Every structure is written in C-alpha cells, then in structure tokens.
C-alpha cells in the first residue's frame, strides 16, 4: 500500500529495555522525521533525515537513536527506555524540510512501565 506506515501501533515496555519503532514510506520522499507528542508540549522533533545515511538531531534527541540505510525506512530506537519517554510517536515524510507539508504516519503509542 502506498503511504507511510508505522509499527507497532501500541507498545508497552519496561524501563531499561531497548525498543525500536519502525517507519516505512513508499513515496521515495527525501526527508523523514520523528516527532513525539505529549499533552502541553505539542509535536516535538526528535530526529530527522535528509536522505539515506544523513540524519540530524531535532529538539529532543537525548535517549534516542536513528538510522536510515534505505530511503524508505527510518527506524527510531530507544536505547534504554525511561518513563519520561512514554508518548505518542509520529513519523512523517516530505519532499522538502520547509516548503511542503508533511505526511504523518498513524503513530505509535508507547508506554514505558
């Protein structure tokens, strides 16, 4: 199916565990983004990528790792999950970082217990 897909939709993990959130897009968009959304904070950028093998930090990168070996995939890894990382995570893609809107995936609701 064309579009941007995230998996899993829901995840519960324990503090200290490593967890990876997946993001896959079929448009060959150059840019991909990871956001977290929390009440009172809105969407905050974690990491973004301009192309395969090019990634950069956003506003709140601490505790997260990303990679982009292929244009279509942009996984986000929480190396050692903490309760403060409980959030809804959205992946997005776009042809441009600035001039086009972003298309968001359906999100992953992550709970760290």
Partner 1 sequence: QKEVEQNSGPLSVPEGAIASLNCTYSDRGSQSFFWYRQYSGKSPELIMFIYSNGDKEDGRFTAQLNKASQYVSLLIRDSQPSDSATYLCAVNNYGQNFVFGPGTRLSVLP
Task: Name which position in 45, 50, 52, 65 contacts partner 1 (CB under 8 A).
Answer: 45
State the DSSP string of 63-106. TEEE--SSTTB--EEESS--GGG-EEEEEEEES-SSSS--EE--
Task: Count residues near partner 1 (CB under 8 A).
Answer: 21
* Residue keyed to tokens 């893609």: 93
- The nearer residue to partner 1, 14 or 40, going by C-beta atoms, is 40
Distance CA 78, CA 109 (A): 14
Q: Which of residues 65-94 bind partner 1 (CB under 8 A)?
A: 90
With binding defined as CB under 8 A, does residue 63 bind partner 1?
A: no
What does the binding site for partner 1 look like in residue numbers (CB under 8 A)? 35, 40-45, 48, 58-59, 90, 97-99, 101-107
């Amino acid at each position: 199916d064309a579009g941007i897909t995230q998996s899993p939709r829901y995840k519960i993990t324990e503090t200290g565990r490593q967890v990876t959130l997946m993001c896959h897009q079929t448009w060959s968009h150059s840019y991909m983004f990871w956001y977290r959304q929390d009440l009172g904070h809105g969407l905050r950028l974690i990491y973004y990528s301009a192309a395969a093998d090019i990634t950069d930090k956003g506003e709140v990168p601490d505790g997260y790792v990303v990679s982009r070996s292929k244009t279509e995939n942009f996984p986000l890894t929480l190396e050692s999950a903490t309760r403060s990382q409980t959030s809804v995570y959205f992946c997005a893609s776009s042809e441009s970082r600035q001039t086009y809107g972003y298309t968001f995936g359906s999100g992953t609701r992550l709970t760290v217990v």
